[in-house]
């Protein structure tokens, strides 16, 4: 009787253990199932529009240069808040889809890089794919320092002397990351680590265009480093272009 009871307990334990392992495997696979899948998009839709500022035009502030003036100049204007006086469009607004699971693939030929030239990060906002190696360039021929103020990804804080022309970085998780130079305190920009290629920036007039979108309903997000973010729902139809403008106050 005792032998039978022990056998039953052993079988029950093995059954529970098997169910636990299977559940764990299922849960481990679930995040991968939600990752973005790249594919060919035929007859996709387009979203275009304008990010506009409703308010008094911001004054461009100047920061006095205190070192390396022969390379950096005497002063540097802030690039954090740029509004076109004619269109009132806001430059460097990041526009992206929040809930897209599949669509076009990243451009494999794109050499993602941010340069340091004239003691300014160029471009001011760089979109890079998750896990993809990209470069921080130093074309100034002086000492710079690359310091990422990330909260989700591990922070980077590395000196980049004049002989190190390209510093290689990559980030494993999606995040909007501020980057600064500790040597030149006015230098700051943003690296947007994206899990899909449907991220675009507004141009100097505040306009943007996002193409090759599979038909469907999405959440469209507008983000600006000084003005915050706005979200709106959009319906994209095959072969059609919809216009979506947003106003920041």
Q: What residues are paired with 11 via a beta bridge?
A: none
DSSP code, position 60: P
DSSP code, position 162: T
Quote the percentage of the chain above a pLDDT of 70: 86
Nearest to 205, CA basis, from 54, 95, 52: 52
Structural tokens at position 114? 């941010």
Distance spanning both ends of the chain, measured CA to CA = 79
pLDDT (tens digit, 9 = 90+) per residue, 212-240? 999 999 999 999 999 999 999 999 999 99
Contact by Cβ (8 Å): 204, 125: no
- In the chain, which residues have pLDDT < 70? 1-34
Q: What is the pTM of this model?
A: 0.85
pLDDT (tens digit, 9 = 90+) per residue, 75-94? 999 999 999 999 999 999 99
Per-residue model confidence (pLDDT) at position 108 = 81
Per-residue model confidence (pLDDT) at position 109 = 82
pLDDT (tens digit, 9 = 90+) per residue, 16-27? 444 444 444 333
Contact by Cβ (8 Å): 169, 137: no
Q: Is 115 exposed, middle or buried (0-12, 13-18, 19+ CB in 10 A)?
A: middle
* CA distance linking residue 207 with residue 164, whole number of Å: 36
Contact by Cβ (8 Å): 153, 171: yes
């Amino acid at each position: 009787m005792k032998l039978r009871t022990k056998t039953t307990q052993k079988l029950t334990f093995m059954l529970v253990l098997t169910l636990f392992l299977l559940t764990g495997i299922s849960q481990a696979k679930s995040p991968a199932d939600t990752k973005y899948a790249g594919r060919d998009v035929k007859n996709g839709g387009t979203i275009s529009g304008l990010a506009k500022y409703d308010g008094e035009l911001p004054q461009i502030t100047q920061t006095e240069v205190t070192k390396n003036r022969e390379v950096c100049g005497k002063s540097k204007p802030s690039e954090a808040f740029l509004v076109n006086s004619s269109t009132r469009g806001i430059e460097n607004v990041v526009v992206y889809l929040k809930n897209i699971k599949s669509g076009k693939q990243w451009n494999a030929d794109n050499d993602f890089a941010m340069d340091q030239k004239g003691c300014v990060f160029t471009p001011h906002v760089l979109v890079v794919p998750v896990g993809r190696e990209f470069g921080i360039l130093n074309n100034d021929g002086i000492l710079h320092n690359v310091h990422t103020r990330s909260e989700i990804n591990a922070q980077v804080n590395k000196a980049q002397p004049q002989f190190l022309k390209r510093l290689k970085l990559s980030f494993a998780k999606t995040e909007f990351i501020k980057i600064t130079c500790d040597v030149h305190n006015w230098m700051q920009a943003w690296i947007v680590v994206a899990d899909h290629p449907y991220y675009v920036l507004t141009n100097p007039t505040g306009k943007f265009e996002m193409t090759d979108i599979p038909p469907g309903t999405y959440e469209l997000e507008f983000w600006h480093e000084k003005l915050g973010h706005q979200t709106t729902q959009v319906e994209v139809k095959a072969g059609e272009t919809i216009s979506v403008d947003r106003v920041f106050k």
